[in-house]
Amino acid sequence: MDMQSYYLGVAYVLAAVFGLCVGSFLNVVIYRVPAGLSLATPSSHCPKCKYVLRWYDNIPVVSYLILGGKCRSCRAPISFRYTAVEIANMLLWIVSALLFWQQSIVYAVICALASSVFICVFFIDLEHKLVFDRFVLMLVGLGIAAAVFDPCYSALSHIIGGVGGFTAFYLIAWLFERIRHKDGLGGGDIKLTGACGLLLGWQRLLLSVLCAAVVASVVLVILSRREGKEDTEYPFAPFLTCGFALAMFFGHRIISAYISLLGI
């Protein structure tokens, strides 16, 4: 094995390990931010019996398997969501390393951190229908960095994506409110799209919004017919974040393949 392959292997292993550890912290963020609680105190505990988790109860994935998905003290079931978040974050960090580490280490780190923010937004909006400004600001910061280190698109593309994404969604929300006299898009969705336009660039932003809109249309039609409530409000950020992640990782390849099919 040559040294380059060795270093790449080390990078992938580290991405997996740190991805799992950060994923464990994301569970704290997802639970405490909507509740207005401190991320530092109190220590992690069982919400039912208040048993304070020891370090060996907090090993990502492993502790869940050893405990059989139940609290060590009261044996109350632990939601699989915690493990799902850890695994999802690990996989996204590995993908970040696989796709971008050789092109730009900094950009690989940017994508890994952005994917963690996407996970937080996904689960919080899914449960609480809220997109917190702190996550938008994180994505703005990552978007500024991406405009500098993106190996595929120029800084101008990122700026156009940020301004265009925010403006387009703001106008859509304004028109919907004027025509239907109710909110069509939340302010969080508008700000989130602007931040991710800055992160992705306008080309990938268009792809991500298209994917999110198509999937959301199908899923929401099915849900509304099943529940028999056409006016029910559903969170849109989970669809957006999935579209953003898809475009961030594979958008350049998808767009290039589409352009080649057109013979452009």
* Rounded Cα distance, 204 and 243, in Å: 9
The predicted structure's pLDDT at residue 51: 82
Report which of residues 8 and 27 the model is more confident about: 27
pLDDT tens per residue across span 28-37: 999 999 999 8
Over residues 237-254, mean pLDDT: 96
With b meaning 16 or more CB within 10 Å and e meaning fewer, what string describes 165-203? bbebbbeebeeeeeeeeeebbbebbbbbbbbbbbbbbbb
**C-alpha angle 72-59-105 in degrees, rounded to nearest 5:** 160
pLDDT tens per residue across span 103-160: 999 999 999 999 999 999 999 999 999 999 999 999 999 999 999 999 999 999 999 9
Quick check: 143 and 162 in contact, CB under 8 A? yes
Q: Is the pLDDT of residue 183 over 70?
A: yes
The predicted structure's pLDDT at residue 238: 95
Which residues are CB-neighbours of 228 under 8 A, at least 6 positions away? none
The predicted structure's pLDDT at residue 21: 95
The predicted structure's pLDDT at residue 182: 74
- Choose among 68, 93, 80: nearest CA to 18: 93
With b meaning 16 or more CB within 10 Å and e meaning fewer, what string describes 43-58? eeebeeeebeeeeebe
The predicted structure's pLDDT at residue 201: 96
pLDDT tens per residue across span 74-107: 988 889 999 999 999 999 999 999 999 989 999 9
User: Over the chain, what is the mean pLDDT?
Assistant: 91
pTM of the model: 0.93
The predicted structure's pLDDT at residue 78: 87
